[in-house]
Structure 1
Amino acid sequence: MGDVAVGARSEQDGPGERPEEPVRTKESKAKKQQRPFWKELPLLIGVALVLALLIKTFLVQAFSIPSDSMQNTLQRGDRVLVDKLTPWFGAEPERGEVVVFHDPGTWLKDEPTPQPNAVQKVLSWIGLMPSANEKDLIKRVIGVGGDTVECKGDGPVKVNGKPLDEQSYVFEGNTPCSLGIQGQFKVTVPKGKLWVMGDHRQNSADSRYHQDEPGNGFVPVDNVVGRAIVVAWPIDRWSTLPVPDTFGQKGIDKAAAATAPAALGIAGAVPLVLLRRRRLLRTDARV
């Protein structure tokens, strides 16, 4: 018999089988599927911008310190990161926190609005720089709704009758209270408002100096952008911004101290009332 013709089916081949094709390796498939980097770049930039906007809106935002009113805690030119997530869950600012807030209305009326260039506008839009159009301030919360805050002489500042130990953050050489008409006060903070003061007490136009204006120096809680939690720039000044221990002293939270006995009384009375009601029902059933 003659040789099998080239390309003809061998007797060993099953019906319908085709000659084996060269096996493609995973590397060759990956190379074929890879797109050029320049095609991927627009997508990467788009994803980065979306993430930056989400972070700016819901998580954290960078702010620049424009003045010396928070020295030495914060220096002019520092960049701080502000927590914007916590307020979304209903948390309100607490005593001792450093917060960024929108101008209540007249605090920055004499301050000129800077005109940013194109690069600054883009950076502020994605949250890498504060917006030049938003007039924001940064101060420390001294009193919250229901608190009584007072200053007499050169201090100390008292909250609900408890003196604050502010040596750890008040600017060296400053007195806690300023000697002057506006620096001597006793106020009760309305519900939903804050009383704020700068750490550089003799160089801070804070709540004390706006008592004769609409709002009486109080900052609405709704104006608060968030709590400053970290000094992120410059690198050699990196630090956190914790609440000083003096704001956690016993008895400063007058409202909580007053309601605690009442709450305990109610909790103790409920079982007694239920027990008495149960006995009355049994008596009625027997009659």
Structure 2
Amino acid sequence: MGGPTGGSPGADPGDVTPESDATQDGQRAAKKQRSFWKELPILIGIALLLALVIKTFLVQAFSIPSDSMQDTLQRGDRVLVDKLTPWFGSKPERGEVVVFHDPGGWLDETTTADPGPVAGGIQKVLSFIGLMPSAEEKDLIKRVIAVGGDTVECKGNNDPVTVNGKALKEPYIFPGNTPCGDKPFGPIKVPKGRIWVMGDHRQNSLDSRYHQELDKFQGTVSEDEVVGRAIVIAWPINRWSTLPVPDTFDQKGIGAAVAPPALGLAGAVPLVLWRRSRIARKTVLKG
């Protein structure tokens, strides 16, 4: 009968020595470490891609650079702007606070301090993924007062702003300001596809009132220039709040007084058909 050849006498080929266990554990640990470093670039890439998608299609952070929207927004506030709903056909509505691109000549050409190559590079990366506003973007933030088809007016002094003849009650105006005492306007018929915007700090806001003579659109802004609606103050934490539409814009009479023709026709057709069928039944019964 032959015994096992080679190795230690009586050793089972399936046995593993303690030295062999330690070697395998070390190999597994090294493999896990290499796997982590291989996966890390992929994870970073996915995170950046998600951030870019969110910035492009969903929500983007913007910094408030001026006092034109006080007291609603303070200089240095960070607001989150909803960019999703416009993709589904939503249009700016009265009372909303919106961010829009400079229509042309609204922003003063001011020079900013050079942050340096390192800080500038970091800012570009963070602004690219939506975590920081871009120093190169020319955007403004104002409140929508009137939309396409509306007639907006303010006669000055302490007279209110009116939309379609209805006076607005504007509790959001900066304390001590008048609705438009520094720059009366109107009546102005807002063209379709455009909006009339004003800052809440009326005496410190170069808004639609100050650009009436720039072009044929009398200071109104194209809806195509609107980036999105500011929905919440996200920073600093002690200023966290939502930015709802004030109740004054819901008052009866500001909107269209009559139903659109299509809706009127849709309501009239069933009524006509019902009336005709009723007359036909009466005729049959009489016969």
Length-normalised TM-score, structure 2: 0.80
For 1:218, the aligned partner's letter is: T
What aligned pairs does 1:237-248 form with structure 2 within 5 A after superposition?
237-248=239-250
What aligned pairs does 1:141-220 form with structure 2 within 5 A after superposition?
141-153=144-156, 154-167=158-171, 169-179=172-182, 182-214=183-215, 215-220=217-222
Q: What is residue 54 of structure 2 aligned with on the other side?
A: 55
1:272 aligns with 2:272: yes
Separation in structure 2 between the aligned mates of residue 220 and residue 127 of structure 1, nearest angstrom? 24
Alignment partner of 2:135 out of 102, 113, 132: 132
Contact 1:101/1:225 (CA < 8 Å) preserved in 2? yes
How far 1:147 moved relative to its partner? 0.6
CA distance change for structure 1 residues 275 and 66 in 2, over 3 Å: closer, same or farther? same
CA distance change for structure 1 residues 122 and 262 in 2, over 3 Å: closer, same or farther? closer
Q: Deviations over 1:121-157 (max 9, x none)?
A: 1111111112222200000000000011110232211
Separation in structure 1 between the aligned mates of residue 28 and residue 94 of structure 2, nearest angstrom? 58
How far 1:252 moved relative to its partner? 1.1
Deviating beyond 6 angstroms after TM superposition, the runs of 4 or more aligned structure 1 residues are: 19-22, 28-33, 277-280
What percentage of aligned pairs have identical amino acids?
66
How far 1:218 moved relative to its partner? 0.5
Contact 1:96/1:141 (CA < 8 Å) preserved in 2? yes
CA RMSD of aligned residues (A): 3.0
SS in 2 for 1:187: strand
Q: Which runs of 5+ in 1 are unaligned?
A: 8-18, 23-27
For 2:177, the aligned partner's letter is: N
SS in 1 for 2:53: helix
Q: What is residue 73 of structure 2 aligned with on the other side?
A: 74
For 2:160, the aligned partner's letter is: P
For 1:110, the aligned partner's letter is: E
Separation in structure 1 between the aligned mates of residue 33 and residue 279 of structure 2, nearest angstrom? 81
What aligned pairs does 1:118-129 form with structure 2 within 5 A after superposition?
118-129=121-132
Length-normalised TM-score, structure 1: 0.80
Q: Which runs of 5+ in 2 are unaligned?
A: 6-12, 17-24
Separation in structure 2 between the aligned mates of residue 166 and residue 223 of structure 1, nearest angstrom? 25
CA distance change for structure 1 residues 261 and 88 in 2, over 3 Å: closer, same or farther? closer
Q: Deviations over 1:160-217 (max 9, x none)?
A: 11111111x11111111224xx423211110000000000011100000000002320
CA distance change for structure 1 residues 273 and 73 in 2, over 3 Å: closer, same or farther? same
Q: What is residue 34 of structure 1 aligned with on the other side?
A: 32
Moved more, 226-235 or 257-266: 257-266
How far 1:263 moved relative to its partner? 3.6
Say how many residue pairs are matched: 260
